[in-house]
Amino acid sequence: MSEKLTGSLIIQAVKESGVKTVLTVPDKTTADGLLRPFSADGDLRHVRTCKEDETIGISAALSYAGQRSLILIQYTGLLYSMNAIRAVAVEYQSPICFMVGLLGKEPGVLPTESKRFGVRIIQPILDTMGIANHVIETDDDIEKITPAINNAYETSSPVAMLIGRPPLAS
Amino acid sequence: MIKRDECLKSLVSKIANDEIVVAAYTTAFELDAIRPSPYNFISSGAMGLTSSHALGFALAWPNRRIILLDGDGSLLMNLGSLVTNANAAPKNLIHFVFENGTYEANGGHPIPGQDSVNFAGMADSAGYNNCHEIFDIAGFESSIGSILQEEGPTFVTLKCETGEKYPQDYRYMHSAEIRKKFAEAVKDF
């Protein structure tokens, strides 16, 4: 079993799902391994937003044009955006794909067993809201990404991919 | 002061039948009564997201003009979107704000800074390409033609007050049916 998480492999999996736009608010966990290469990728449109709930409106609008997008944020931003997620993603059944950095989660520890309260509550909240979620902790987990995004768009429903450790920058 | 419904009637007479108009709450009800159209996108559920929905549409369809009808209370809940939208710089976005100084959909209570906030000034500082402030219907009529031709993003504050009363069907506003109609209308864009 792999003990590392490679950013370039995550990006490859995201692109294989047809995502052409990445909507972001910086997150320390993913800043170097994902955000920096995403922002430099000429195949992707990168929209920097000021606050995380903006990304949900933008992503939902893009989906009406059949354009797939990924939201890259920190778990604190996910918590901040709960009303927009409740309304636009869940109640209005929009294909909103989150990639969420679990800042401070201990490597190898399940999110629900983290010592960090904010990290520990993320999956129970997502489960309560009926939002599919996947922990992406090692390279072995990366194979979940493309099907998760495809499923979100095929079923018009949200999904959250929880990044459990800082991805390697190369 | 501009009667909002008078302004809407004038505006919709100057845009194409298949133009996307993104509107929030009370303005959305009035828009739908004045211009019943599947191309009206009603931004509801999470107040403040109107300006973000509109940015998404503007990015998705860069060759189509996107008309955004925001409220002052709505914009205050998503002020950062001024900077995000200006930074994304869609040339096809026209961002109107109907400024009546209240949270009209929530009891008519005053917005913070009711007598002092300068939305056009904030949009200008955020980096919108063009910013305007209009105080009466004569000013609107004389300037809207050229404003609609500007290279965006463009921002227009409309100092307004409520005009006639229009039906407000919140059940329909939140229904899947209204979003399905919009999705069907734009599927071949």
Residue B151 lies in a domain: yes
Phi, psi of A23 (to 5 degrees): -110, 125
Which residues 6+ apart lie within 8 Å of B149 measured at CB? none
Helices and strands (H and E) in chain A: how many: 8, 6
Q: Which residues of B touch A45 (CB under 8 A)?
A: 59
Q: What interface predicted TM-score (ipTM) does this complex get?
A: 0.96
Interface test with B, best of A19, A54, A94 (most B CBs within 10 A): A54
- Give A 50-89 residues with CB within 8 A of chain B: 50-51, 53-62, 64-65, 67, 83-84, 86-88
Residue ranges and CATH numbers for the domains of chain A are: 7-163 (3.40.50.970)
pLDDT in tens for each of the 170 residues of chain A? 678 999 999 999 999 999 999 999 999 999 999 999 999 999 999 999 999 999 999 999 999 999 999 999 999 999 999 999 999 999 999 999 999 999 999 999 999 999 999 999 999 999 999 999 999 999 999 999 999 999 999 999 999 999 999 999 97
User: Is A61 close to B46, i.e. CB distance below 8 A?
Assistant: no
Q: Tell me which of B128 and B188 has the higher pLDDT.
A: B128
Q: Is it the case that residue B45 has pLDDT exceeding 90?
A: no
Torsion angle of C-alpha atoms A90, A92, A93, A95, degrees rounded to 10: -90
Chains A–B, number of C-beta pairs less than 8 Å apart: 92
Which candidate from B56, B176, B186 shows the least CB-CB separation from A59?
B56
Token reading at A10: 């995550």
CA distance B14 to chain A (A): 24
Residue B104 lies in a domain: yes
Torsion angle of C-alpha atoms B121, B61, A148, A28, degrees rounded to 10: -30
Q: What is the pLDDT of residues B65-111, one digit of tens each?
A: 999 999 999 999 999 999 999 999 999 999 999 999 999 878 889 99
CA distance A99 to chain B (A): 19
CA distance A14 to chain B (A): 19
Residue B162 lies in a domain: yes
B175 in A contact zone (CB under 8 Å): no
Residue B146 lies in a domain: yes
CATH number, domain containing residue B63? 3.40.50.970
Residue B102 lies in a domain: yes
Residue B189 lies in a domain: no
A19 in B contact zone (CB under 8 Å): no
Average pLDDT over residues B124-131: 98
Tell me how many domains chain B contains. 1
Q: What is the pLDDT of residues B14-34, one digit of tens each?
A: 999 999 999 998 999 999 999
Given a contact cutoff of 8 angstroms between Cβ atoms, the answer to whether A95 and A63 are in contact is: yes
User: Is B53 close to A58, i.e. CB distance below 8 A?
Assistant: yes
Residue B38 lies in a domain: yes
B46 in A contact zone (CB under 8 Å): yes
**Host domain of residue B168:** 2-184
State residue A90's pLDDT score.
97
Q: What is the pLDDT of residues B130-186, one digit of tens each?
A: 999 999 999 999 999 999 999 999 999 999 998 888 988 888 888 888 999 999 999
State residue A1's pLDDT score.
63
pTM for the model: 0.97
